[in-house]
């Protein structure tokens, strides 16, 4: 029973492992995927926008942000940012290949340790 619990714990810890990367691009390069959180930088301000708080239409980014910034209120203000005023867009994406590689390496190392310890215990039992 303890082994099953250990295996389940290892598997659930691997779910926490993930490889992410930041991708910066100009507004012309970014297709404004409304499913991703993003950071938008204009000449004077940087906005961190959640995927639920913006949409893009007619060369304008429409956002809902908390105002004033860093306040603990639930009041959101609607803003429009024309594409020409956006200097750069930065999004966080998941690297699925990297995540699988890291998870695989962790599993191989864990399996190697388990096999080594099991083999060592078996050898001690043989000698006795």
- DSSP-assigned beta bridge partners for residue 38: 49, 91
- pTM of the entire structure? 0.56
User: What would the two tokens of residue 43 be?
Assistant: 């000449």
pLDDT at 26: 82
Instruction: Encode pLDDT of 50-59 as tens digits.
Output: 888 888 888 8
Instruction: Encode pLDDT of 47-80 as tens digits.
Output: 888 888 888 888 899 998 876 655 566 677 888 9
In the 8-state DSSP scheme, what is residue 104?
H
Domains of the chain with CATH codes = 1-19+95-128 (no CATH), 22-93 (2.30.30)
* Residue 66 to residue 73: CA distance in whole angstroms: 7
Measure Cα distances from 16 to 2, 13, 49, 65, 89 in Å.
22, 5, 24, 29, 27
pLDDT at 62: 92
């Amino acid at each position: 029973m303890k082994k099953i619990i250990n295996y389940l714990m290892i598997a659930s810890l691997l779910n926490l492992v993930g490889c992410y990367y930041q991708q910066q691009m100009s507004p012309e390069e970014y297709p404004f995927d409304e499913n991703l959180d993003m950071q938008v930088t204009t000449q004077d301000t940087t906005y961190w926008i959640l995927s639920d708080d913006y949409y893009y239409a007619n060369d304008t980014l429409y956002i809902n942000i908390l105002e004033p910034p860093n306040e603990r209120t639930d009041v959101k203000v609607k803003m429009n940012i024309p594409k020409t005023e956006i200097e750069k867009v930065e999004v966080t994406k998941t690297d699925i290949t990297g995540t699988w590689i890291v998870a695989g390496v962790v599993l191989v190392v864990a399996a190697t340790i388990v096999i080594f310890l099991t083999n060592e215990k078996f050898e001690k039992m043989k000698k006795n």
